[in-house]
Structure 1
Amino acid sequence: MALIEADIEVEGMRLQLLRENFPAPSHHHTCDTDHTVTLFLPPVGFSGQIRFTDRNDGEYRPISPLYFRAAGVGIQSVGTGGDARWVRLSFSHDHFVELLDHEFDWTWAKLEAGLTLSGTPVEPLMMRLGREAMAPGLASKTLIQALGTAAIIEVARLLDSGEEQPRKGQLSAGQLNVIRERAASLSEPAPSLAELARLCGMSERNLLRLFKQTTGESVAAFVRNIRCDRAREMLAQTELPLKEIAYRLGFASHSSFTAAFRRETGINPTDFRRDHAIRRARAH
């Protein structure tokens, strides 16, 4: 049974902060009476999959730390277990329709799209709701109402876009976006394969295979290219010291950043910055 750390109700929705130590492996059968958006808070040390009990294929599908589940849709979930803390926003279908100002047609494609929402605009909204649940401030319920409404609308937009399904044996556009956004993040070190697999709701082996089939390149090369692009931007557009750029990109030291940049570009960061400045001066 989950421990409820916070439970706040506002018009049309309910925000909860919960914690539970799930057994390993964990198995659950549920059918919620309300729609729910759930975000497992970092660090997320487990992974899981979901099967729609009313769908004939009986196939388990990957689930990311942020996901949506529709009211009245039975699911069976399996997970690796472990201690977890999560934020849950629940709301009735009537409130959902009222916010959208039209009826929402459910399809399996939309339900599947809701299983992997990490890296989407919903994530920062849910993180902010989580912080508010932990430490409510001035006009807390008004803020929760506003953030919750924004999260619900963003979910609806994402579910609509989920109608276009990825080709079999490939990653979805949403999963690629999760990887791209995480790789480009300057607030954390470069992501590991295990972290990216967890965010996409699949095993490391499946991620390696599907990513290669989808993009034609390896996960490692993709992440390196994105981090290198960010390095070029910072070298060209800022006057930050190399030590600071290395830190923001998640490198342990200035020397390790310099070596990695030279390996990818064939030139060291100082020379790249100088050459860019010369070209810019000549252009003006």
Structure 2
Amino acid sequence: MQVQDVRSVVITVKCQSRPGIVAAFSQVIFECHGDILDINQHNDKTQDRYFMRMACQLQAGEIPALRERLNAVAARLGAYYTLQDGVESTRTLIMVSRFDHCLNDLLYRWRIGELNMQPVGIVSNHPKDVACSRISLGDIPFYYLPVSDSTKDEQEDRLRTIIADTKAELVVLARYMQVLSDRFAREMEGRCINIHHSFLPGFKGAKPYHQAYKRGVKLIGATAHYVTSDLDEGPIIEQDVERVTHSDTAEDLVRKGRDIERRVLSRAVLYHLEGRVILNDDKTVVFLN
């Protein structure tokens, strides 16, 4: 293969367990003159369900044939698959309220090439000088959608229009502190990631760090999950914790919590962008290196 023609792709597969799955998909890569660089698999024995991620290289001109052959194999095996081109950046819409630490971290990681995404817009329920006062957005469009009880449905319709107009493939709630409707959650299933400022499940509602402080917890954490109609109950992608002591104040917990939130959300977004996350009903399968 000529180096300039080589394209990296990621294939994910989900289907009922049966013999010959790896062989069938590997044969497709072989027929397209490709090379399998990495393969991960998991068999959920409780549901007799199989999951696989294959990272491959092949010439760019082979991708149409690859897709055609994948369609045939998936139909024969009753499998659901995705094909992700590593060259293409995922068009990403980021939503934020007043706390900008997660947004700032995502944009920094994007600018240094760590996250293969293309920010197509920033949406906030607060004005730009409140939501992004310490951040340079450059050419990234900013959309101000103030939310109240009387405007909630209208603003969510505007959000749908923004997603359609920007062709956003992924929506990230980077500390966006508004509840989205059940309809929106269904429409964005598997394409909307939220960071919850608590180690779920537990300490739900307002000021979870203050609740944790009053209970004298020894660990605080954060959870990144896909958004569903069940508030803060979506399939979990990533979590992390940090130990605290009796000498920490509630403000110390908030400060430490910001660090946890940043790294948990960035890892969850990275895993999604790299095709490492596969939905498994109310859970996820996350293939790590």
Relative to the length of structure 1, the TM-score reads 0.21
Relative to the length of structure 2, the TM-score reads 0.21
